[in-house]
Every structure is written in C-alpha cells, then in structure tokens.
Amino acid sequence: MSDTNGTGGTGGTGGSGGTHKAGAANDTPRAGGTSGGLDAALFTAWAEEIAAAVRADRDRLTALDSAIGDADHGANLDRGFTAVAEALAGGRPDTPGALLSLVGNTLIRKVGGASGPLYGMAFREAGKALGDAPTVSLADLDEALAAGLAGIRKLGSATEGDKTMVDALAPALRALTQAVQEGQDPAEAVGAAAEAALAGAQATISMQARKGRASYLGPRSVGHEDPGAASTALIVRALHAAVSRTAGAPGETSRWAPEGPA
C-alpha cells in the first residue's frame, strides 16, 4: 500500500503545526478564525463519521489496494475505526485534543501495515497541537491538521506527486488555510478542504508511484487511484459531514456513503 507520508504540500499552511496552543480563553483570534466553538462533541462526531464512511467504503478501499498494494487497506482501517468507535462508546474525552489523541493511539494499536502508524501519528500530533482547551477555533483546527501532516513527515519523505496520501492531505490543508484566512465559516471551509482532498486523490490515478509498495510496480501503478489518498479524502469528507451536522447545515446527512461503484 502506498499511503506513504512526505514533505510535500506544507507551503502556505499558515501555521507551524503545533507551536500554538489552541483555544485558550485569553488568546486573540487570528485572521479568519473564531475564538473557540469546536468542542469534543464535534470531534467525536468526526470519528463516528469516519467509522461509518470506512465501513461503507471498505470494499472499494480494498479493491484499490489490491491493484497496487497488499489488499488490506479497507479491512485495516475498518478494524481501526471500529475500535475507535468502541473506545468512544466507553466514555468520550472532555477535550478535542484528548479525543484526537485517543483516535491516534487506538489506530496505532489496532491497525497494521503502513496506515496505522501514519494515521495514528497524524491524529496524535493534531491532538497535541490542540492541547487541553475545551473548545478550539477553526484556525486552531487548521494548525492541528498542519501538525498532523508534520507528524506524518517524520515517518518518511514522500512529496506531492509520489502517489501517496500526501497528494490528498496537502491540498486539503492548503484549501482549509485559505478558507480560514478568508474568514469562511467552518462548514464552508472544511467543505473546500474536502473537495481539494477528493481532487487530489483522483489526481493520483495518472501518477506513477514513487514511494511505498506501489512503487515496485513502476509504470504499472499508473491508472490506479492510490488507496491512502482515497482514504485521506474520505476522512476529510467525514470531517465536513460532522461539521455540517453539528452546524445544522442544509444538504448534509449525518452519514456519508461514497458515490459510484464500490
């Protein structure tokens, strides 16, 4: 599976990825951000959305991984996020940071292959960036996701164009940062990130893999969507669904089923 991490796409993220402690009551909101408003319930909803979306898209993710990987991406993520949902059912952490840390730690324990360490690191670093604030702003979320990408970078050296999860995550982060700077509301901002992640994942179809297991196929990897990029797009879309659900935005359901054939 080629959901390798990397350095690509961090330019223009607007944050150092962890130096700002989110949500403190006396913080001055940065341009495009709000002072708080995103609480542990929102991040719990995100985890629930991911678990439902992964379960719905499990077979497609496995099929993508069968073509250029080891055919376990869907099953691994389903197992991991099912474990996350079970952990949350036993008691939800009180802060967004603790919630994301729980997600990351659970994925590292439960998910094999490359995706467990990669996604686990991303969620844990995002949780650290949010600190112990009870609520965080959209700008804080942007910084947390930048910290997650920075965490992924610690595990490898993929860049955009290598046909990995970075090809979905990096453009999603750029879109979110721009939306924050423009002062968009959370649903609009995360929606823009979700669209960018999906476009990034689809763009991997024409790429030749240069990292991960898929790179062994050389030119034969062209013509297949990267499974790590596909699951990253799914995770960002789940965030949009959760934000829209909690905000009561029209046109969003509480569960997302992917379009098209599995």
Q: What is the pLDDT of residues 60-105, one digit of tens each?
A: 999 999 998 889 999 999 999 999 999 999 889 999 999 999 999 9
54 located within any domain? yes
What percent of the chain is predicted at pLDDT more than 90?
Answer: 63
The enclosing domain of 104 has a CATH number of 1.25.40.340
Give whole-number Cα distances, 228 to 133, 137, 152, 202, in Å.
30, 28, 13, 11
218 located within any domain? yes
- Measured in degrees and rounded to the nearest 5, phi and psi for residue 137 equal -95, 170
Please give the residue that has the higher pLDDT: either 36 or 64: 64
Contacts for 199 with CB less than 8 Å, ≥ 6 apart: 171
Query: Position of tokens 């073509």?
Result: 67
Element (H, E) at 60: helix 40-68
Question: Is the model's pLDDT at 158 over the cut of 80?
Answer: no
Please give the residue that has the higher pLDDT: either 112 or 38: 38
Q: Which domain holds residue 205?
A: 38-247
Q: pTM of the prediction? A: 0.82
23 located within any domain? no
254 located within any domain? no
Q: What pLDDT, on a 0 to 100 scale, did the predictor assign at position 150?
A: 84
Please give the residue that has the higher pLDDT: either 38 or 69: 38
Please give the residue that has the higher pLDDT: either 112 or 123: 123
8 located within any domain? no
256 located within any domain? no
DSSP secondary structure, 194-226, as one string = HHHHHHHHHHGGGPPP-SSGGGGGGGGGTTS--
98 located within any domain? yes
Band of the pLDDT at 247, cuts 50, 70, 90?
low
141 located within any domain? yes
SS3 call for 6: strand
Nearest 10 degrees: CA dihedral of 202, 137, 180, 249?
Answer: 60
Share the mean pLDDT of the chain. Answer: 82
Query: How many structural domains comprise the chain?
Result: 1
Question: Is the model's pLDDT at 256 over the cut of 60?
Answer: no
- Measured in degrees and rounded to the nearest 5, phi and psi for residue 237 equal -65, -35
Q: What pLDDT, on a 0 to 100 scale, did the predictor assign at position 255?
A: 36
Band of the pLDDT at 215, cuts 50, 70, 90?
confident
Question: Is the model's pLDDT at 23 over the cut of 70?
Answer: no
Q: What pLDDT, on a 0 to 100 scale, did the predictor assign at position 14?
A: 35
Please give the residue that has the higher pLDDT: either 34 or 82: 82
Please give the residue that has the higher pLDDT: either 156 or 101: 101
**C-beta of residue 95 within 8 angstroms of C-beta of residue 134:** yes
